Amino acid sequence: MKAGFVLLALLAVLFVLPVTCSGSREIHASSLKSAYQSARIVKNYIRDDSQRLAFQIAFGTLQQIKTEEGGEAAFLKTVDGKTAEEIIALAREEVNARIAKGDKRFAKYSSWDAMVQQLTQNTPKVLGSEREQRAYE
């Protein structure tokens, strides 16, 4: 009887541990909710503040662009299975292409890098994975 419980506990650990410790650094976009959850997890793996902000901007920009083009499904298909670096690269391509075409939403920016710099110039610095709390928050 004791051996049965030990075997059952061992099997439970073998099946549950990989799921809870997988630490995937890709976006899983089977739904909008799972895409947001994955993006939050992926963002927390990024240690460089500027890259973290660029990822957030890229994810939001891709959501806006792809949703306008083909709906929510197009956005989910675009980001599914992508890493943070791939998301940033896709957004960079999309934004630079739209700037070249003369898209009015991106007319005030000369490039993706200029857009990110302008959007993040007044952003507070992040300490670790959390930003500093202010007294009035």
Do the Cβ atoms of 68 and 98 come closer than 8 Å?
A: no
What is the structure's pLDDT at 119? 86
What is the structure's pLDDT at 85? 93
**Separation between Cα atoms, residue 57 and residue 119, nearest integer Å:** 9
* Per-residue pLDDT reduced to its tens digit, 43-81: 988 888 888 889 999 999 999 999 998 899 999 999 999
What is the structure's pLDDT at 137? 45
What is the structure's pLDDT at 127? 47
**Separation between Cα atoms, residue 86 and residue 61, nearest integer Å:** 14
Do the Cβ atoms of 120 and 50 come closer than 8 Å?
A: yes
What is the structure's pLDDT at 135? 58
Whole-model pTM: value is: 0.71
* Cβ atoms within 10 Å, residue 20: 7
Taking the domains of the chain in order of start, what are their residue ranges? Answer: 26-122
Q: Are strands 130-131 and 126-127 parallel, antiparallel or unpaired?
A: antiparallel
Q: Point out the residues of the chain with pLDDT beneath 70.
A: 1-24, 124-137
Strand partners, 126: 131
